[in-house]
């Protein structure tokens, strides 16, 4: 049974692309908290919403070109 639970947990993390190391960074934050809270320095936040003041970029292509 524990093996099945571990496998299921691994599957969930793999499907959603979550990392246990950076989980605190990856979870959704409340509205007034920066999405970058608990993220490693240098993390780039991209959001399509032009009204998102926390976003560094609003297009993935722009973020990639900045690298």
**Per-residue pLDDT tens for 3-28?**
444 454 554 545 556 677 888 888 88
pLDDT at 5: 44
Q: Which residues of 46-56 are buried (b: 16+ CB within 10 A; e: fewer)?
A: eeeeeeeeebe
Mean pLDDT of 31-59: 91
Domain count, the chain: 1
Residue range(s) defining the domain that contains residue 45: 2-66
**17 or 59: which carries more pLDDT confidence?**
59
**6 or 58: which carries more pLDDT confidence?**
58
pLDDT at 16: 57
pTM of the model: 0.62
């Amino acid at each position: 049974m524990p093996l099945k639970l571990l496998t299921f947990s691994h599957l969930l993390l793999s499907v959603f692309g979550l990392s246990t190391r950076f989980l605190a960074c990856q979870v959704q934050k409340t509205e007034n908290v920066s999405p970058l809270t608990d993220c490693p320095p240098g993390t780039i936040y991209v959001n399509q919403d032009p009204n998102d003041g926390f976003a560094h970029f609003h297009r993935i292509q722009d973020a990639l070109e900045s690298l």
